[in-house]
Amino acid sequence: MIPDQLAGSTIAITGATGFVGTALVERLLRCVPDCHLVLIVRNGRRTNAQRRTAREILSNDAFDRLRSELADGPESFDDMCARRITTLSGDVGSDGLGLDDDARAIFARCDTIIHSAATVSFDSPLDSAVEINLLGPTRIATLCQDLGVTPHLVAVSTCYVAGNRRGTAPEDLVSAGPFGIGLDWRAEVTAARRLRSDTEAASREPDRLAEIRRRAHRELGPAGAPALAAKVEQLRERWVRDRLVEAGRARAASVGWPDAYAFTKALGEQALVESCGDQPVSIVRPSIIESAWAEPRPGWIRGFRMAEPVIISYARGLLREFPGVPEGTIDVIPVDIVVAAIIAVAARGPDGPLVTQVASGGVNPLRYRAMVDEVAAWFGEHPLYDQKGQPIVVPEWRFPGRGRVQGQLRRAQRALGVAERGLHALPLRGRQAEWSAAVEARRSDIDRAMEYVELYGLYTECEAIYQVDNLMSLWESLDSDDQDAFCFDPRVVDWPHYISHIHLPSVIQHARVRTTPGRSRSTDRSARLRSQVLAPSRHVAAFDLENTLIASNVVTSYSWLATRRLDPVDRVRYVAKTLAEAPGLLRLDRRDRTDFLRHFYRRYRDAPVEQVAHDTEEMLGHLILANCFPDGLRRVRQHRAAGHRTVLITGALDFHVAGLAPLFDEIIAAEMTVDGDRYTGEMVTVPPTGEARAQLLDEYCQREGLDLAECVAYADSSSDLPLLEAVGFPVAVNPETRLAAIARTRGWLVEDWRRVKGARRPPLPLGPLSTPINTRVRR
């Protein structure tokens, strides 16, 4: 029996944080009670391997059944795991697995090694896939040789190492390419590493960096140097990754594989067999692994696999057609059948066949059209709902070629790109800016659909039939008890029942989709976010002023002051001149907010301090408060009532906002130098814009002993991105197009605050006529 064959053995497992690995750990703990597990887990950025085991493996709902079974027993689940599991910090992407001396000693005592670690993404960068998928198994074999031990190594591969073939795919080693072209895996490793180095160098060429910087500026606008630099580096790294992904696809396609995953897995098999020496090796090749048929419970799944994104996109009406052969076979296998087969191969030992394929197409085929019909019928009865609470009617599925689908999606991408650039050029804000966010969301959906077609189209068009003779021979060799406890016979799966009653309900349960009619949950979500920003535990609420609390800006404030003592003729001249300058001022503002303020504030040169002070007192009521957003001022008072500090951070001049002091604990504003009794038009310090706002708020929190992570920030522009990113609770108020898109992507609270209905909205507010005092503000 399988439990007896593995009793008392020590089994090392790589990839335990993954889909198959987690199911494997659960099944061994529950069904092979006398084995000990050694989990080789990579340290995370902020958590070590032991903590990752607790959080990412043992806390998964796959273990709910085992927890329940142990609940009334003498040993708790946690105690059992502590006794039977040892976690080692290691990485199959590093020579020697990165194990220290103590870990190597523990590893050397293992009787069996199950290697399930892999980069399973079909769009992995070529060098990453080579380091993990190709070299990972070889690194394990080399470590065993260095330690002088020969445990049985069970390597989990994939059926798709057979490549883009039609017809029978036997359980043989693919050592020279799917069509016998004779590849040298060592040469592929060298080329992939050189490609990474060359691509990194190309990404740093001046012309490339200039283009990346222009793209970053288009996305962020005048967000400040730090934010722009971070975005440039992010885009540069993405460019490198995209080139390496493209290279992986191209190289795999050139030699007959669907993608870099299958390509590097095939070469990994070749490298392992050539380098393992006397070490016994078995290779298990599953096909497309999906949710569980029965163990640990029907429908159990960890993360979305290959089919789920396509299914959800179809149910949401985003995909109306997908490439594939209607009479072709979609070779899907539930994860519990795969896990049971791996355990059976490990228990059998190395005396059996080298390769065992775990697939359904040869003995229990699922036809593409049958699967589509089941999915369409299910979503016809259980539709998803759109933002308006209306059911989404799934389209009639068609089966075109990949070229046609890709052509349609590319045309849609181009059209949406033009629309997005046009909307970004317009001065939209608030609900109007949501148009841009909606276009960007739609473009993201199209990009995702294109990605699915490129990644999965070859799999749905695949006409290979994977033979499972070795699998069925192993199945027939088991007694009835083992067959009951470790079922890996693909013939047991009833596909209509699996799709409609197991897989699709599980997919919908894990997907973030609307399954009930009625109003959108976004209102509830906004209310929840609003309660978070007003929670008593918050420390500071920082507010921008212009277009956040008031419908005004530095130009309108200056215009009000500058025209206060002008006669009607001069007023007309002023308005005409200012409107003519408006496009240039807008361009400068969009390019760099600080430069714009310095340039514009030069107009205050020679303005009398006394006169300006007198006029700004009147301006508070006539302009500032008359153009305020009542909901914004109400929010300030709510924060004060909750015991939060309130801080106004604005690029407006300090004498413009002095009248708002009763609302705020601190006002941080631009200050102008004074020469005698007149303003110079020059700044005392850098105006509080862009990254300076984030720094000023950070300094304020440090000075007052407050936590920046417990702060709330309200702002309207992408130039305020550093401030919004610095706090724990960002709020976009009446956002312009760039910020609206960013806020939507990141899930921030968005507020739409408006002026009082009926308030006058002149294109350029002018101050009321008044008797001249000394001299007027400089025109």
Q: Which of 90-99, 419-428, 488-497, 710-719 has the lowest mean pLDDT?
A: 419-428
d(C-alpha 754, C-alpha 751), whole Å = 10
- Could you tell me how far CA 771 lies from the centroid of its own chain? 61
pLDDT band of residue 532 (cuts 50, 70, 90) is very high
Per-residue confidence (pLDDT) for residue 775, from 0 to 100: 40
- Dihedrals φ, ψ of 670, to 5°? -70, 145
What's the average model confidence in pLDDT over 529-556? 92
Per-residue confidence (pLDDT) for residue 741, from 0 to 100: 80
What's the average model confidence in pLDDT over 718-746? 88
Two tokens at 471? 């699998």
Which residues 6+ apart lie within 8 Å of 508 measured at CB?
A: 382, 384, 515
- Dihedrals φ, ψ of 11, to 5°? -115, 120
pLDDT band of residue 625 (cuts 50, 70, 90) is confident
Domain ranges of the chain: 529-751
Class of the CATH domain delimited by 529-751: alpha beta
d(C-alpha 739, C-alpha 261), whole Å = 37
pLDDT in tens, 682-729: 999 888 988 889 999 999 999 999 999 999 999 998 888 889 999 999
Asked if pLDDT for residue 778 goes beyond 50, the answer is no
pLDDT in tens, 32-75: 988 999 999 999 888 899 999 999 999 999 999 999 999 888 99
d(C-alpha 396, C-alpha 405), whole Å = 15
**Cβ neighbours around 198 below 10 Å, total:** 11
Q: Which helix (H) or strand (E) holds 227?
A: helix 225-254
Q: Radius of gyration of the chain from Cα atoms? A: 32
**Cβ neighbours around 706 below 10 Å, total:** 18
Q: Which helix (H) or strand (E) holds 516?
A: none
CA distances (Å), origin 601, targets 653, 670, 675: 9, 10, 15
pLDDT in tens, 461-507: 677 899 999 999 999 999 999 999 999 999 999 999 999 999 999 98
332 forms bridges with which residues in the sheet? Answer: 288
pLDDT in tens, 10-35: 999 999 999 999 999 999 999 998 89
Q: Which of 87-91, 309-313, 755-759 has the lowest mean pLDDT?
A: 755-759
Asked if pLDDT for residue 320 goes beyond 90, the answer is no
Give percent above pLDDT 70 in the chain: 86
d(C-alpha 30, C-alpha 578), whole Å = 78
Which residues 6+ apart lie within 8 Å of 324 measured at CB?
A: 368, 399, 457, 460, 461
Two tokens at 152? 């049985």
d(C-alpha 328, C-alpha 454), whole Å = 18
The pTM for the full model equals 0.78
Per-residue confidence (pLDDT) for residue 108, from 0 to 100: 96
d(C-alpha 214, C-alpha 201), whole Å = 19
Per-residue confidence (pLDDT) for residue 141, from 0 to 100: 96
d(C-alpha 689, C-alpha 601), whole Å = 14
Q: Which amino acid is residue 391, in one-letter code?
A: P
What's the average model confidence in pLDDT over 545-564? 88
- Dihedrals φ, ψ of 299, to 5°? 90, 0
CA distances (Å), origin 718, targets 69, 393, 590: 54, 37, 10
| Average pLDDT in the chain | 86
Q: Which of 224-228, 672-676, 758-762 has the lowest mean pLDDT?
A: 758-762
Asked if pLDDT for residue 771 goes beyond 50, the answer is no
Largest CA distance in the chain: 107
Q: Using CB atoms within 10 A of its CB, is residue 658 exposed (0-12), middle (13-18) or buried (19+)? A: middle
